[in-house]
Structure formats: C-alpha cells, structure tokens
Chains A and B, each alone.
Chain A
Amino acid sequence: MLRQVEGSKAIADVVAACKPQVICAYPISPQTHIVEGLSQLVKNGTLTGCEFINVESEFSAMSVAIGSSATGARTYTATASQGLLYMVEAVYNASGLGLPIVMTVANRAIGAPINIWNDHSDSMSQRDSGWIQLYAENNQEATDLHIQAFRIAEEMSLPVMVCMDGFILTHAYEQVDIPEEPEVSKFLKPFVPRQVLDPAEPVSIGAMVGPETFLEVKYLAHQRMIDSLETIQEVGVEFESQFGRDSGGLLKSYKCDGAETIIIALGSIIGTLKDLVDEMQVQGHSIGLVGLTSFRPFPFDQLRQAVTGAKRVVVLEKALSTGVGGIVTADVRTSLRGTQIKDFTLIAGLGGRSITMKSLKEYVLRAMNDSVAELTFLDLDVNIVESELAKERALR
C-alpha cells in the first residue's frame, strides 16, 4: 500500500515487517527516526516477539547484535557517521564471525570538523570490513533493500549494511509502498543460523586463529563475499517477481545504450543524475548512467558490461580518500582494466554540500571533451583554498 511517509518511518515499518527478534541501537543523527519508530512499534505491540535494547553506545549496539545473532535471533541495528566508526571493532567482528546482522547506515559525514550532513564517508570507511554494502537510490529502494538484506544476510551468513543518504532520504517524505508482514515473511525464509549458541549442542564460537590458518579463514570470507554477487542478483530477481519492483540487484544501467560518457554513482544522487541524463540526452548528448547498488561485493564484471562501448566514465563520489581522491574509482578502474575507457572522478556533496544540476551539467559537458582533470572537486571555492594553502605553506 502506497503511503506518503518519512523515509525513516518507512524503514522502521519495513524492518518491523521483517520480524527481527532483537533490535538495538544508540541514537545518532540522522538515524534517530528509524530507531524511534521501531521502539514505538515494539512498545505498542505492533512488532511482537522482539526485544528492543537501548544501548549505551554504538560499540555496544553492534556487540548486542553479535550476541543476539549468534544466539540465532534475527537482529537489526542502525547507525551513522561517528557511530559507525565507534562500533568499527565490532563491525569487523560481526563479519568475521559470519553473523547475518542487518544494519542501516544513514550516511553522514565524519568529523572533525563535526558535520551532521550527508555524504558517504562513514560507510566507505567500512569498505574492507567484510560487510555487504547496498546503497539505496530512494526510499522505496531503501525499503525494499532491507527485506532483501535479511534474505541475503541469512543465506550467506554475512552481515549486510543498507546505506541510505542521511536527511536526503531518511528525512524525506515520499510515496513508498511498504510491504506488509505476511508478504515479507513469505519472502524471508525462517532464519536458520549456520552456527548457534545452544546448550543442547554446544560449540565454542570465536576461537583464536594463528598464522597457520588465518589466511584460509580470510580467503573463505573473501570467496563468500564473491559468491554473494550471485545471491544478491538472485534475491533481486525473486523480489521483483514477488513484489513487482526492480529493487536491488548489483547495479542499474540507465539509458546507457550507445552512450559515450557514462556517469557512475551511488545513493540518492542517482535521482538527480537521471534527470540530468534525461535532459542532456534530449539535448543530443551521448550520456548514460550506472547506479551501483552493491558496493561490497563490487560487481566488476557487471560494471564492465554496463559501460562497454563508452569512451569514458565519470565516477561521482560522496567520499574522499584523502591524498588519493576517489574510493569507488579505484574499483571502477579495476573493472575497466584492459579497456580503452577513460575514467574521471568527481568528488561532490561532501558534508551535505548541494550538488546542483547546473554545476553537474557544466562539469559533465567538459568531461565529455576530456577537458577535466582526473580528479575534480565539484564547486570547490578555489579562491579560499588557494589563499589558505598559500598561508599554510608560508608558515611551514
């Protein structure tokens, strides 16, 4: 049923429909509305058979999730930004132990300077944490991805992060079709944990593994992640057949046929970029768009196929690897290895900076002539940074 709801409320409702047994969270903007919604659903009896734990930190949130998941309970948590960083040790631990926890990351910048607005620095920092990372374009997709996330997580015994842009999605009111619990339950099979803490069949989980075995353990984790590329696709297909929506999968091509220039991006900016592509194609430009849903695992082959025939790609990134530039770009380059396709990186929207159609268009037009630098910071105030750099250098 279509409803006009805040993104966070949609997530709360759909997570509830997934019937998690344990939810734990520590409040941080812009994740708060999600967990507030869930706490209400548990408290008012809408979501039954679920324990909602108010923890004292994100580190404990993920730790509670670890304990709960290892005990065979479907487990959910949500965080953002500093909170995600505060739980990092446990984030890695959850994936290392192969626990199918689902976590929403309401993407937000990382301080200092403290900044509560959206970019992807937080989840990108967890690129190598061993979690599957799915990025939502809009609240409908965010809603649908949560259902798929539980399914993928539990099939692969891997934790899944559903990343949705803070404020831009979490606080936006949109029309969202939120599947009801019976439909969702039909889609999600009962959770059968690969390993579980059970006095009837006790095991020791979390052994210390030495140099002679550690590599194999890591290799297995790597392969499991690679195997999940297929699972993500299959789950997306199955989801579409049940719910009639093409949400999920690894990536989505938008009007790429014959395009010389293809923009690659993640998250809510895809909506803006679709408008841009529409506008520029009307104006006769050869341009397309690939929206990456799965950043981890990275769909190298699928991306290469999606951009085959293009002359160049522009990777729009809402995060920065300081001193290097793009983060996604590195993976895109790996995908394009052996092709003649050029790549450009556009760093945009850091800390919630507006990404305007005007600026985007100006940049893309230049990029289409290969007349942009490999790395560009959209709308950078050149005067300020140059004068500051001059002062700094003078003081050194």
Chain B
Amino acid sequence: MTTTPVKFYQVGSFAVGNRLLTEEERSGQSNPDRANALTSGHRACQGCGEALGARYALDAAMRAANDQIIAVNATGCLEVFSTPYPESSWRIAWLHSLFGNAPAVATGVAAALKAQGRTDIRVVGQGGDGATVDIGFGALSGMFERNDDVLYICYDNEAYMNTGVQRSGATPPAARTATTQAVGEEPGNTFGQGKFLPRIAMAHEIPYVATATIADLRDLEAKVTRAMEFRGARYLHVLVPCPLGWGSASCDTIKIARLATQSGLFPVFEAVNGEVVASTKIRHKVDVEEYLKLQSRYAHLFSPTRREDVISHLRRMADKNIARYELMGE
C-alpha cells in the first residue's frame, strides 16, 4: 500500500490539518474531538517524542477500531510518566504488567477477547525500544510467530531512557549513552550489526510491518489505520526522539525525527507479508551531519576533533538505507 498524501494545493498536505480541508482530508489529530488516548497531566519531559507518538498512534487506533481498544504497556518511560498513582493519563482500557512481557500480555488479552467472542475489541501492545528489541524480544517474536491478533507498537528512542539513558539493542552506532561513553578509540556505541527490529519482524512474515516517525503524522496515522485493517500480528516501529537522552532542544523533537528520515538514517517503509511494498521518499535530502549536529549524544564526532571516519561510516549507513528501501525519487 502506498499512502497518497493529500495534495491539497499548497498547505495541508503535511500539516496536521487546515481549515480549508474537509474533515476526512485532515489528520485525526486536527479533530478537536480526537480521542486523546493519552491526555494532559502526564509527566513526560518537555518535548517528549514518545508521548506524542503514543497519542498519535493510539488515537489513530481508536479511530480505526471505533474506540474499541485495549492497550498493553511495557515498563518504561511511557508507563511511568502516564500512570504514577494516583493519576492516570490514559483514557483507554490499559494494562501494565512488566518490562519484558508486553507482547505476551497482549496475546493474553487477545486470546481472552477471542474466547469471549469480543473480536470487535482490538489489542495494541506497546513499549520502548528496550522493552521491544531487548528484554521483550522473545515474547515479541513468539507473538509474531503465532500471528496473534495484536498490533505491537515500538516507540524507539534508541536507549533505556527511563533508567537514565543506557545503551539498548536499538542504540545507533557512535551514539553516546551512560553505558557507551564518548571515550576511547571508538567513542560512543560501537559499530555492530545493529538490531533493526522491523526487518526481524518481516522475517516472521507477519501480515504487516511498518516504520514511521512523529515527524510525519499523516503517514503514521495511515499506517496505524492500515495495520488495523489486518488481523494477526502487526508491527509498527515509530522513531520518537528523546530530548533528554539525545541531548537535543525540547523544541527540536519533531525536527530531529524529520532529519532522521531526510538523511536516510531512518527509513520509513511498510511491508506486507514480509515484503517491502512501499517506502516514503525523501523530500529534502540532507546530510547525516545535519541530523547529528543537533544532538549532544553525537557531539564527540565534531569536537575536540572531527571524526570524519565515523561520520562517513554513518553516512554510508544512511546511503545503504536509501538504496535498500529506494528512498530517493519517485
């Protein structure tokens, strides 16, 4: 499936809404009566990408499922900032169990609903990258392999932010975290194969796998909507910059997500039954440096000495994505 952006003259194709668009042509987030699955008063940091991504995704899921949603949340920032006793920011049926078991808990919810004949209620599992690619990976893979009727959403902020920014399996090479300090020969995280979960998800040949970012709301909403059209295991990987962990300005959260896509470092695509069927093209190509420079977790690549070798390594990674997912051109 390819999502055709609304080519509404000149404004509104990418913006959240526009007064000149019909309701259907606007994003769900422009609706004053949107679900606000995650409501105000949560304790996320200023400019939190995950809070934004979760509301975007769950509101879209609510729309697609006629508000019949149950969400299962892994331990992590999203869980902690949304439900410290005595206040919950969720406006949906929501369950938090553990760090590493959200996919399995979601399976349990789906199984119960099936047994109860309530398949009109849809299940969303969600967690950060640590919960998803590391500690909960086994459970996630099991959920995929059984093709349980769950949409699992990973809000990827590329490290363990809740515990104080330690490296996760999703931490990109060269990034500084509390456990991959910017010291030594190879400062920051080491270069490895990386763990890009969307491709692993695709290897399970589940009905639907997609990536998205909070920089392209319409794309994200379209993917959630599309994911909800399928039954079985579905996986959505959403890049959500973290101002605290990435060392960026709180106002730049969306901008950084945008630069991640426009540099090619984060490919936005979707796959059906294990095959890539569409990718979101880069609109305004930027060099990886533009992305890196806004984040202090990469500051050691520019000072005290410029690490051209590392920067070009990262550039090659972006180029590989661009080639692999055909991110340039129509």
B-binding residues in A (CB < 8 A) = 21-22, 24, 49-51, 53-57, 59-61, 63-73, 75, 89-90, 93, 97, 197-199, 202-210, 213
Whether the pair A56, B141 counts as a contact (CB closer than 8 A) is yes
The chain B residue sitting closest to A64, CB to CB, is: B108
Q: What is the bound-complex CA distance between A181 and B91, given in angstroms?
A: 39
Nearest chain B CB to A312 CB, angstrom units = 45
Known: A63-B104, A67-B109, A208-B83. 12 other contacts (CB 8 A): A22-B115, A54-B146, A59-B138, A65-B108, A72-B116, A73-B111, A73-B115, A75-B112, A198-B70, A199-B121, A204-B88, A210-B85
B138, A68: Cβ atoms closer than 8 Å:
no
| Pairwise interchain contact B91-A209, C-beta atoms closer than 8 A | no
Q: When A70-B95, A70-B109 are in contact, do A55 and B104 touch as well, CB less than 8 Å?
A: yes
Interface residue? B69 (CB, 8 A): yes
Report if B80 contacts A (CB, 8 A): yes
Query: How far apart sit A72 and B117, CA to CA, in the bound complex (Å)?
Result: 12
User: Can you list 10 A-B contacts (CB < 8 A)?
Assistant: A51-B114, A53-B146, A56-B141, A59-B104, A63-B104, A67-B106, A68-B111, A206-B97, A207-B96, A208-B79
Q: A93-B98, A208-B79, A208-B80 are in contact. Are A199 and B108 (CB under 8 A)?
A: no
In contact, B104 and A60 (Cβ under 8 angstroms): yes
**A57 CA to B98 CA in the complex, in Å?**
15
Bound form: Cα–Cα A70–B104 in Å: 13
Q: Measured between alpha carbons, how far is A198 from B80 in the docked complex, in Å?
A: 22
Distance in angstroms between the alpha carbons of A22 and B107 in the assembled complex: 10
B85 touches A63 (CB 8 A): no
- Contact A22/B112 with A199-B70, A204-B90, A205-B94 known, Cβ cut-off 8 Å: yes
Is there an interface contact between B101 and A24, defined as CB atoms closer than 8 Å? no
- Given A73-B115, A90-B97, A90-B98, are A57 and B138 neighbors across the interface (CB < 8 Å)? yes
A71 to B114, CA, bound (A): 11
- A206/B83 contact (C-beta < 8 A), A24-B108, A72-B116, A199-B92 known: yes
Contact B97 A93 (CB under 8 A): yes
> Closest Cβ of chain B: how far from A89's Cβ, in Å?
6
Tell me how many residue pairs across A and B have CB atoms closer than 8 Å: 164
CA distance A396 to B73 in the complex (A): 50
User: Contact between A67 and B104 (Cβ–Cβ < 8 Å)?
Assistant: yes
B139 contact set on A, CB distance < 8 A: 56-57, 59-60, 63
A259 to B21, CA, bound (A): 89
Counting CB contacts under 8 A, is B93 at the interface?
Answer: yes
From A54, A71, A207, A208, residue with most partner B Cβ within 10 Å = A71
Q: Are A63 and B88 in contact (CB under 8 A)?
A: no
- Where chain A touches its partner, the secondary structure class is mixed
Shortest Cβ distance from B105 into A: residue = A67
Q: Is the CB of A197 within 8 A of B108?
A: no
| Cβ contact of A57, chosen from B86, B92, B142, cutoff 8 A | B142
A231 and B105 CA atoms in complex are apart in Å by 29
CA distance A72 to B113 in the complex (A): 9
When the two chains form their complex, are residues B84 and A53 in contact, meaning their CB atoms are under 8 A apart?
no
Cβ–Cβ contact B104 & A202, under 8 A: no
Residues of A contacting B112 with CB < 8 Å?
A: 21-22, 51, 67-69, 71-73, 75
Q: Tell whether, in the assembled complex, residue B108 and residue A67 are in contact, meaning their CB atoms are under 8 Å apart.
A: yes
Q: How far is the CB of B327 from chain A (nearest CB, A)?
A: 34
Which residue on chain A has the smallest CB distance to residue B69? A199
Contacts of B138 in A (CB 8 A): 56-57, 59-60
**Given A24-B108, A56-B138, A60-B101: A50 and B146 within 8 A (CB)?**
no
Instruction: Name, among A57, A65, A202, the residue most crowded by chain B CB atoms within 10 Å (CB to CB).
Output: A202
B13 contacts the other chain (CB 8 A):
no
A207: contacting residue among B88, B93, B101, CB under 8 A: B88
**A208 engages B108 (CB within 8 Å):** no
- Do A63 and B108 contact each other (CB < 8 Å), given the known contacts A202-B92, A207-B85, A210-B85? yes
B96: chain A residues at CB < 8 Å are: 204-207
User: Contacting B107 at CB < 8 Å: which of A67, A72, A203, A204?
Assistant: A67
A59 and B101 contact, Cβ closer than 8 Å, known pairs A53-B146, A205-B96, A208-B83 = yes
> Nearest-CB distance from B311 to chain A (Å)?
40
Residues on the A chain within 8 Å of B106, using CB: 67
CA distance A63 to B105 in the complex (A): 5
Report how far A221 CA is from B97 CA in the complex, Å.
Answer: 17
B189-214 CB contact bits vs A (8 Å, 1 = yes)? Answer: 00000000000000000000000000
* A72-B109 Cα distance, complex, nearest whole Å: 9
> Are A66 and B145 in contact (CB-based, < 8 A)?
no
In the complex, what residue of chain B is closest to A212 when comparing beta carbons?
A: B85
**Quick check: A59 and B97 within 8 Å, CB to CB?**
no
Residues of B close to A199: CB separation below 8 A? 67-70, 92-93, 121
Among residues of B, the one whose C-beta sits closest to the C-beta of A65 is B108
Q: What residues of A have a CB within 8 angstroms of the CB of B121 in the complex?
A: 199
Q: Mark B43-56, 1 if CB is under 8 A from A, else 0.
A: 00000000000000
Q: B88–A71 contact, CB under 8 A?
A: no
- Residues of B within 8 Å of A70, CB to CB, are 95, 105, 108-109
Cα-based distance from A205 to B80 in the complex (angstroms): 13
Q: Which residue of chain A lies nearest to B90 when distances are taken between CB atoms in the complex?
A: A204
State which of A21, A54, A210 has its C-beta within 8 Å of the C-beta of B115.
A21
Taking the closest CB of chain A, its distance from the CB of B209, in whole angstroms, is 19
* Bound CA span A93–B105, Å: 11
> Which residues from B are CB-within-8-Å of A210?
84-85
Task: Provide the bound-state CA to CA distance between A214 and B71, in Å.
Answer: 24
- Asked whether A89 lies within 8 Å of B145 as measured between CB atoms, the reply is no
CA distance A53 to B110 in the complex (A): 11
Residues in B with CB closer than 8 Å to A63 are 97-98, 101, 104-105, 107-108, 139
Bound form: Cα–Cα A73–B121 in Å: 14
Q: How far is the CB of A354 from chain B (nearest CB, A)?
A: 38
In the bound complex, CA of A394 to CA of B22 (Å): 87
Considering the chains assembled together, what is the distance between the CA atoms of A66 and B283 in angstroms? Answer: 45
> B28 at the A/B interface (Cβ < 8 Å)?
no
Give B120-172 interface residues, CB cut-off 8 Å to A.
121, 138-139, 141-142, 145-146, 148
